Amino acid sequence: MKHMGALALATLFAAPAMAHEHLDAETIGKIEAMLTSIECQMDPDDIEVTDEGYELDDVICKGGNQFDIELDKDLNEVERRAE
């Protein structure tokens, strides 16, 4: 039973890292370029792949405002939520 709990915890903590593994350097570069164009930045480790596209967590934009931004598969912004 102890091993199952440890496995569950390991899986939980590895999930964000595994989400980033599905991104290639080209896609990360395109997302970073898009963010630069709207005067925002973020840590690429906070990019998550979703069924619909990408979720960008903890995006900091000009003025210090922080958002979560959702992109479709073509990197078009579809939602922005203030944090």
Q: What is the pLDDT of residues 52-78, one digit of tens each?
A: 999 999 999 999 999 999 999 999 999
Residue 32 burial by CB count (10 A; 0-12/13-18/19+): exposed, middle or buried?
middle
User: What does each C-alpha distance from 28 to 8, 21, 35, 62 come to in angstroms?
Assistant: 29, 11, 11, 20
pLDDT of residue 22: 75
Confidence at 15, pLDDT banded by 50, 70, 90: very low
For residue 70, the 8-state DSSP code is: E
pTM of the model: 0.73
Which value, in Å, is the radius of gyration of the alpha carbons in the chain? 15
